[in-house]
Structure 1
Amino acid sequence: MGRVNGLLNKTLLYYTFLATFVLLLSAPFFYLVMEKLYTDDVDEAIYLRKKEFEIDHLKTIRSSDIHIWNRFNRDVRIIPDTISGNRKNKIIQETIFDEVVPEWEPYRVLYSDVKIEGKPYVLKIQLNLVESEDLIKAIIYVYLVILGGMLLVIFFITRFIANRLCKPFYETLQLIDKFNIEQQSLPSFNKTGTKEFDQLNTGIEKMIVSNVKSYNSQKSFTQNASHELQTPLAIFQSKLDLLLQDTSLTQQQSVVLQSLYEASLRLSRINKNLLLLTKIENRQYAEVSTFTVNELVNDVIGYFEEQAENKNLRIEIEENAIIEINANRVLTEILINNLILNAIRHNLENGNITILIEDAKFSIINTGIYKELDNAILFKRFGKATTDTRSSGLGLAIVKEIVEQYKWDIKYEFKNNLHCFTVLF
């Protein structure tokens, strides 16, 4: 379900990012619009006060009443005509010190010419913008809260709808994930009612059927070919063995026959290993039991004494822990045998082999050619890292197949001119 949530969350992440970007982009624009609207509203109020003054007070006020008027009217004042002409009869914005607060605050101000008792004066009307700004900020705050809430609602609604719409897709993924080609049980896809999902399921079903047929054909061919080759190979080897015992053969004939005999042995090994690989892949070694790697190593090491002596190799076993596993004993023995045989076959004369048993880790360290082997082909079939003709090229491939069957792991390292193969249980 983690992969499915990853797809949905990625879609929602893009959507949330885009919505947040639009929201942040619109906030300054909304602020400017609101500020303009409120400024226009303040300007309209200023003109209204001017009109009220002209209608209600201009004709009745006297010059001697100006100081009394100014004392009781902070925002509508009558001042001497000392204002420059370019500032008159239009609303401008000024920062004025407010003695009540006291602070410098923004105001919208109108200077308008008036005549009182025939003398020129200036009518100054001012309105504080602080209240308007506070109101704008409050409105924007509410706007952001509402939009944020809407974003959350849309997010969860979109997630709910996406989950419902994509449910058939999730079910298809689960069926594919559970499908095992070796069990030969084809997944059953239900009708989804959505054209695209039904097309997807039909395409996947056809592909699975085709792959199963190809897999069965390949498996059958490998099994049949290996079995059919065994008999003629055995006859061929027995005939060569009889010919090699013929004392009338010349030295040149003996060399040719010996070469053929060795080639037939290698062919027989390849055939047996291919058959073994097929059996492992087909899970024909299903029986499992509990045993320790330590006892298995000590049981099989004696089989390799003669081969080790032929190259004067020194084999040392270091047991620093007891590894108990639950697996097929035959397969585990094949794994250990192949790794030991690999260490002997590709070793140097008078070389060393160390079998190291640690906590959940089995390692074989050996001397050999003074260069790192190619990890890319090391565990592949016929992916030999050396030119040794005695090798079938399948030993490490078999090891890899066994390791993967039990979900273990195997690693190769080359350090201090030593080759190290480690199985992690």
Structure 2
Amino acid sequence: MKKLLNKTLLYYLILSSGVLILSGPCFYFLIEKLYLDDVNEAVLLRRDEFFKKNLPDLKIEEISVWNKFNRDTRILADTVTASKDQIILQIFYDEMVPEWEPYHVLYKNIQVQGKPFVLMIRLNLVESQDLMLTLTWLYLGTLFLLLLANFYITRLISSKLWHPFYDTLQKIEKFNLQHQQVPVFEKVNIIEFEKLNSAVSKLINDIVKAYQIQKEFTENASHELQNPLAIFRNKLDLLLQNTSLNTEQSEIIQSLYQVSGRLSRINKNLLLLSKIENKQFSDTERIDISTIFQQVIPYFKEQALAKNINIVFDKQTTKLYIIANKGLTEILINNLLLNAISHNKENGTVTIVLIDNSLEVCNTSANNALINDIL
């Protein structure tokens, strides 16, 4: 996933590059047109200058000398078939280069001492091509520098502009519901960010209040249920101690005693699940799983002996450390061993294996093994 700032810069650069690249050909053809117009204007200026300054005093015998010293303004015999009085594009072989080069040429009929000739005025366009190439490279260089400058300037401005948003995001990420400390957002002069901070503050306050109410309700409900259950069980204990009860009455009272025990366990389990859901077991420490199993296994000896189950503790590694809440870890291990014994067969085995960074608790059973995908 990309950052919002980087994505914004990417869109901006794509748009800017597209506009500048598309404007490149327009720029090129505009400059070319302006230059060619300037060349044509120069051709017409030479024509006017020739008619004003040179043609009135020109003699026929001077034409050869004139052509020798004027490569681009020549006087030709009246045999030229090219279009007259308009500027055209022609290719000439330039002996000085030497190569074929393009020219803008004007042919015009003139009279020298009463005889017809053709005046040819031309200007080389190779210089214009060189100029256009130079301008193109200059434009590309300017385009690159402009995009680079836009990138860094936009990044700098955007980072400052989006600072309140990232500050709000950072405080939301650090918010911990168990601490119930509502983050205080900095004052901003941007309406959208101010509305965001206000909405987030209200939402967090509502969440904290709802969490506190739920937590108090769970604790109170558990306490209110636990006390009557304890009183009920005490009364049943007293009744069971009554020697005047017959067998049927004793069985009924014993059944109620067992039901009250299950209700008490259900109440404790619901309270535990609620605390886990509310993340009230946030304290963690480095725990050795091997040590906890060694402490817990003796408590299950009687349940195991009742079904003649053998508990095997295979420590292929002496220590297995995890970072967790110790109370929850002990509850988890107790449940694992209890279930492994309860759902075992007579004369079965419970095997606990510690291998490197893994723990396995296996039991024997007359039933098929559970499918891993549904666990």
TM bin (shorter chain): 0.7 to 0.9
Residue 380 of structure 1 corresponds to none
SS of the aligned residue for 1:122 comes to: strand
Change (3 A) 1:93 1:330: same
Change (3 A) 1:372 1:46: same
Q: CA deviation digits over 1:264-321, x for unaligned, max 9?
A: 65544332122223444453574x6544222323443455564698597986746357
Cα deviation for residue 190 of structure 1 reads 3.6
Which residue identity lines up with residue 373 of structure 2 in the other structure?
E
Change (3 A) 1:207 1:246: farther
Structure 2: distance between partners of 1:93 and 1:240? 120
Task: Give the TM-score of the pair, scaled to structure 2.
Answer: 0.78
SS of the aligned residue for 1:51 comes to: helix
Structure 1: distance between partners of 2:92 and 2:342? 98
* Pairing 1:159–2:160 present: no
Q: CA deviation digits over 1:204-239, x for unaligned, max 9?
A: 222211111111111111112222222444566688
Residue 406 of structure 1 corresponds to none
- Contact 1:223–1:278 (CA<8 Å) still a contact in 2? no
Structure 2: distance between partners of 1:353 and 1:82? 119
Change (3 A) 1:121 1:230: same
Structure 2: distance between partners of 1:150 and 1:304? 77
Residue 293 of structure 1 corresponds to 289
* Pairing 1:17–2:10 present: no
Structure 1: distance between partners of 2:159 and 2:133? 38
Change (3 A) 1:90 1:330: same
Residue 141 of structure 2 corresponds to 145
Residue 377 of structure 1 corresponds to none
Residue 131 of structure 1 corresponds to 127
Aligned match for 2:174, one of 175, 178, 181: 178
* Pairing 1:54–2:55 present: no
Task: Give the TM-score of the pair, scaled to structure 1.
Answer: 0.70
Change (3 A) 1:219 1:108: same
* Pairing 1:218–2:214 present: yes
Unaligned runs of 5+ residues in structure 2 are: none
Residue 269 of structure 1 corresponds to 265
- Contact 1:348–1:369 (CA<8 Å) still a contact in 2? no
Identity of matched residues, % = 48
Aligned match for 1:330, one of 327, 331, 339: 327
Cα deviation for residue 326 of structure 1 reads 5.0
Residue 169 of structure 1 corresponds to 165
Structure 2: distance between partners of 1:234 and 1:341? 24
Change (3 A) 1:80 1:267: farther
- Contact 1:114–1:121 (CA<8 Å) still a contact in 2? yes
Change (3 A) 1:219 1:68: same
Change (3 A) 1:145 1:232: same
SS of the aligned residue for 1:372 comes to: helix
Cα deviation for residue 344 of structure 1 reads 6.2
Change (3 A) 1:68 1:332: same
Q: Which moved more, 1:348-357 or 1:134-143?
A: 348-357
Structure 1: distance between partners of 2:146 and 2:171? 37
Structure 1: distance between partners of 2:28 and 2:211? 67
Which residue identity lines up with residue 68 of structure 1 in the other structure?
V
SS of the aligned residue for 1:187 comes to: coil
- Contact 1:279–1:285 (CA<8 Å) still a contact in 2? no
Aligned match for 2:73, one of 73, 76, 88: 76
- Contact 2:229–2:264 (CA<8 Å) still a contact in 1? yes
Structure 2: distance between partners of 1:84 and 1:205? 89
Change (3 A) 1:285 1:7: closer
Cα deviation for residue 335 of structure 1 reads 3.0
Structure 2: distance between partners of 1:358 and 1:370? 23
Structure 1: distance between partners of 2:362 and 2:153? 60
Which residue identity lines up with residue 277 of structure 1 in the other structure?
L
Structure 2: distance between partners of 1:165 and 1:100? 62
SS of the aligned residue for 1:57 comes to: helix
* Pairing 1:369–2:370 present: yes
Q: CA deviation digits over 1:193-214, x for unaligned, max 9?
A: 4443333322222221111111
Change (3 A) 1:296 1:314: closer
Change (3 A) 1:184 1:79: same
Change (3 A) 1:33 1:344: farther
- Contact 1:109–1:126 (CA<8 Å) still a contact in 2? yes
Aligned match for 1:8, one of 5, 9, 20: 5
CA RMSD for the aligned pairs? 4.0
Residue 197 of structure 1 corresponds to 193
Structure 1: distance between partners of 2:76 and 2:362? 104
Cα deviation for residue 46 of structure 1 reads 1.0
Change (3 A) 1:95 1:265: farther
Change (3 A) 1:360 1:93: farther
Cα deviation for residue 151 of structure 1 reads 3.8
* Pairing 1:111–2:112 present: no
Q: Which moved more, 1:39-48 or 1:122-131?
A: 122-131
Residue 26 of structure 1 corresponds to 23
Which residue identity lines up with residue 332 of structure 2 in the other structure?
L
SS of the aligned residue for 1:58 comes to: helix
Residue 405 of structure 1 corresponds to none
Unaligned runs of 5+ residues in structure 1 are: 374-384, 386-425
Structure 1: distance between partners of 2:325 and 2:46? 100
Cα deviation for residue 38 of structure 1 reads 0.5
Larger radius of gyration: 2
